[in-house]
Structure 1
């Protein structure tokens, strides 16, 4: 069934003017001019084909036609508010669905989610290992990706773009471990002794002594600190870093803002 086009803005103005019985006070409530209120009322009267207000010596009065429609109109606005609240209910949800690389979760994200949960004991997390998962299909709130920037999504950088060559502290091969995240130095790609598919495999391979690898600094800080790995040269800046990203509707949710603020604080 085709729905009748409703002049919602004019109806909202009518509701305010009817409550105040004053175009001036209605204008103050709506942050417009009294003239704009008058224009909306006249336009609504033209659409409806009825007169809504009469001017008397005591001020404005509602006509019988206006009174007849006022209660259903206000009930309708209340239903609109209930509808908006229902659609926004997810913003107050305590459940987060996060797509994140396994290795980044283990080395960086897990302790920060623990501290976030200490502040918000009711929160629950669902983790998806495929950081490239589709937001709609996987019902994601946010994703963490090793990229050069958020692209068309909204995003916040979780750590500076730094990389470092690492190898096992004892024994181990001096050949390169190649993975898709960072290109090896010129001429070294073809000499790689081991090809792996992701950062987690590269990290495990380096710790096991299978070779040296170029790694994002956040993934190896713990291993460098405990001596499992040693740095081969200085930390270098790079364009790729870990970003927390989401489409704008998710990004604007209160619960997502709270998580973003926590993960990017300090």
Structure 2
């Protein structure tokens, strides 16, 4: 038991830079208190002392602002940061090293008996205010953005955002991300602006354009090589280099022109 408590305390140090010492964690982290109360109430629930388990769960909610049904299954090193308003349903299953922030709901979508609540695999992170609804699964290392509403499974290593939540990046995007980073460096763009985990639709469009440019470059290179092998002389000149600084200078000049127009504007006219 004490080993598990040490694990929990160390997990707070690992995931909350505001934690200063053990005494502060023991006395001022309601998420930790809620988890410890749940372990007792869950054991009572399994021994069929259901009223006592629910009563202890209710006391824990009153004390911490976090409601965890005693029937929920929770793994090791579970951390609830801040905690106020978290609700975890009775058939929810949570793996190891999972992190929840305030206002998260692991809820159901029907009144039927059986599995009604979500399953969170290992190393999942759920942002503040997110709602995970129904008997769905969030895969290992999955992430859910703040205030998102998730009603479908989220695959491993994926990030879901929005209402209803959509996948903005996943493990299958890693190859595209590596390609885009190389192409972005080649053409002078900031690779982070076209990252596959960026939910900005403009950034997504730029990423697609870079994919297209990269594919066309490869096709043209192959075509030129074949023509040259047949005796032709094509593609001898190098492509002009794009310099981001040129666009920066143009933007600065445009900004100066806008400032001069603003200064010369007389609001009394």
Q: What is the TM-score of this pair, normalised by structure 1?
A: 0.25
Q: Which has the larger radius of gyration?
A: 1
Greater per-residue strand proportion: 1
Q: What is the TM-score of this pair, normalised by structure 2?
A: 0.25
